[in-house]
Amino acid sequence: MSGGSFSDTAIERLRGGRVLALTGAGVSAESGLATFRGPDGLWEGHDPATLATPEAFARDPKTVWKFYAARREAAAGASPNPGHRALAVLETELGDRFLLATQNVDGLHERAGSRRIVRLHGSIWRIRCTRCGDEYEELDLRASARCPCGGRRRPGVVWFGEPLPADAFDRAAEAASRADLVLVAGTSSIVYPAAGLPEIARRAGAWTVEINPQPTALSERVDERIAAPSGAALPALVEAAALGAS
Ligand code: BJW
Ligand code: ZN
């Protein structure tokens, strides 16, 4: 599929301005990972967005752990796609003019090479004890659900009603308020506060571009829409700006 045609404004701002990229589950769809609210959006009969809640964990921790164990396994078996890699190229080319704020917890951006990254919703590769608070990186897929202190462990992700990791939203909001260009890729833009970042940027004068094959809650409030998969559109953008050529 074509990567869509970006405006001159987007290309110019990419070449010379500050850029914030905001990503969601759709960016990993072409790596074979399920989105939250897609047509194939059920996991063993459960709505994933309902499983990703403190209430579900309190009621039925085994099912919630099974859901995250399955996602850890799927993510471990997946590879970054050209969309992830294009964002890593942008970071290499733009340096401190670039920041990636992701809602994704799968680690694929990091595996593609992104380092200037804010993880708004945590990581499935981190685990935290709900009793003693011990938090650590756990890459072993058979992570134990019990801490030595006797407490129950949980995935190090952000569920509905929980605050985002300290500083994560502030860093992203600061980048939004200073951005010349915002690229919003692969998100339905219904989950706040992440979904509010493009509006912060736009009010401060940024040009906002949505990359998503489907219209979303944000579509009518962006300057430009690229109706294409991010795995095609983001590399096309890098190429159009003649970045990452060497
Ligand atoms: C493609 C594609 C391809 C497909 N290429 N695209 C203001 C108004 C109303 C409500 C609120 C508000 N502020 C806060 C709230 C409450 C709540 C909220 O937003 N609710 C709304 C649903 C109404 N927010 C919260 O509770 C947040 N916390 C908070 O506000 O705390 C306040 C607080 C402060 C102090 C003390 C205590 C509290 C936390 C939100 C946490 C969200 N967590 C989850 C789970 C994370 C862990 C996990 O992954 O399991 O995050 S829910 C889920 O949704 C996940 C995602 O990151 C997030 C967003 O989903 P995303 O990424 O957009 O995926 P989809 O599936 O929705 O969309 C995929 C898109 O991709 C689609 O558009 C496709 O078309 C597209 N696509 N293929 C490009 N190839
Ligand atoms: Zn503990």
C-alpha 131 chain-centroid distance: 28
Res 149: pLDDT: 97
Contact 163 CB / ligand 1 (< 6 Å): yes
Helices and strands, counts by H and E, the chain:
9, 9
Binning pLDDT at 50, 70 and 90, where does residue 245 land?
Answer: low
Residue 86, pLDDT above cutoff 90: yes
119-141 tens-digit pLDDT: 999 999 999 999 999 999 999 88
For the CA atoms of the chain, what is the radius of gyration? 18
Res 99: pLDDT: 98
Q: How far is the CA of 78 from the centre of ligand 1 (A)?
A: 22
Contact call for residues 198 and 222 (beta carbons, < 8 A): yes
Res 18: pLDDT: 98
Mutate to test the pocket of ligand 1, among 191, 197, 222, 225 (most ligand atoms within 8 A of CB): 191
Res 79: pLDDT: 98
Res 1: pLDDT: 57
33-62 tens-digit pLDDT: 999 987 777 787 888 888 999 999 999 999
Res 43: pLDDT: 82
| Atom number, ligand 1, closest to the C-alpha of residue 192 | 19
Q: Residue holding tokens 């078996």?
A: 77
Which has more pLDDT, 222 or 48? 222
Q: How far is the CA of 67 from the centre of ligand 2 (A)?
A: 21
